[in-house]
Amino acid sequence: MSYLVDFDDLPPIDVWGERVRARALDGENCTIALVELAPDAPVPEHRHANEQMGTVLHGSITFTIDDETRTLTRGGTWRIPSDHPHHATAGPDGALVIDIFAPARHDWDDLPHLAPRPVPWPGR
């Protein structure tokens, strides 16, 4: 695999059905994912061993981490320590976000992967 990859060339992963899909690039110790959330798409409460950090590129998302809730727009960030409960809901226009996980999210390897297609970048 090349060290230089476009998100457009990565297959979307059905993380939570057609409303929440991610394109993941795994390194040895971390995963970077571009996550596409449909308008008002829910991300159910869950937790994982991976530390997670991210930022909103487009749209908005309301995150709850432990007992803290906040709506984030472009440039808003989050940090989720390992094994902390969290859930989110995309805003009315959906959201495009970047998530970084450490260690890598190999639990996504067995999820359904779709054919690669262009990323819905804003303004494209």
Confidence tier at 24 by pLDDT (50, 70, 90)? very high
Task: Judge if pTM exceeds 0.85.
Answer: yes
Please check the confidence at residue 124 and state whether its pLDDT lies above 90. no
Compute the CA torsion angle 57, 112, 92, 70 (nearest 10 deg). -60
Per-residue pLDDT of 70-107, as tens digits, reads 999 999 999 999 999 999 999 999 999 999 999 999 99
Alpha-carbon distance 87 to 85, whole Å? Answer: 7
Could you give all domains of the chain from N- to C-terminal order, each with its CATH number? 26-107 (2.60.120.10)
Region class of 44: left (phi > 0), else alpha (psi between -120 and 50), else beta: beta
Q: Does residue 116 surpass a pLDDT of 90?
A: no
> What pLDDT, in 10s, does the model give residues 32-73?
999 999 999 999 999 999 999 999 999 999 999 999 999 999
